Structure 1
């Protein structure tokens, strides 16, 4: 039996798309790719990479908090963007979410498109959870 816990940030939409926002396995938390969408899965901030970065990290923070964690627990992030130049120009908005913290291992990849055409960025996180 695997020590596993599934978490839904937006249960209805996640179940419709067929995924969970996060899965905890032992002391590791795997957070699915977070997009800039509202709770009804409507894309937010079309064309604004910095605002979409902030929106995606807001969902990540809410998920981390559900497990008693913060951005300090993030050890790895995979970032998928539809426009690498826009991402590089707005990278300060990403780094601001780690202010005063050690930066995680990061991979950034440009892709043709994401689940919603208006979305420019998707961020996937792995976090080491605090001990109880």
Structure 2
């Protein structure tokens, strides 16, 4: 019994090689001078920084209200994932921040169009007193990457 407990404890200390690798800071070339990486890979987990409804190369959120901003946010997430060899189907968790929770339904209509029905990432949403650049929505996500 004692040997069984020892071998079980030893096995718990053995980590896969991916878990021992240093984090990889991922940027695809459009950091816009902001002090963060667009994504960080740690093992097989990829953490995406929050995305606003800003078109690539722009410095302000897109016009057109919550639907336009939500679409741009989701396109930004998709583009970031694709730049690093991932897809929307690799997302496992998203956190949604809305400037106005009354727009939750409108956001959901856009959001669900980016996923296959019934295969949505886990998600939480909350209202924020203010988002960067006066945005109406910001979304950050976590993806599970294939082992490299």
- Report the TM-score when normalising by structure 1: 0.87
The aligned length equals: 129
- 1: CA distance between counterparts of 2:48 and 2:133? 19
Larger mean CA deviation between 3-12 and 71-80 belongs to 3-12
Displacement after TM superposition at 1:12 (Å): 4.4
Does 1:21 find its partner at 2:38?
yes
Runs of 4+ residues deviating >3 angstroms: 9-12
Task: Pick the structure with greater CA Rg.
Answer: 2
SS of 2:46's partner is strand
Aligned-residue CA RMSD in angstroms? 1.8
2:80 alignment partner in structure 1: 63
Aligned-partner Cα distance in 2 for 1:114–1:12: 18
- Greater relative contact order, per chain length (Cα 8 Å cut-off, separation 6+): 1
2:100 to 63, 76, 83: 83
Give structure 1 stretches of 5+ with no counterpart.
none
| Runs of 5+ consecutive residues of structure 2 not aligned to the other structure | 1-19
User: 1:43-58 alignment to 2 at 5 Å?
Assistant: 43-46=60-63, 48-58=65-75
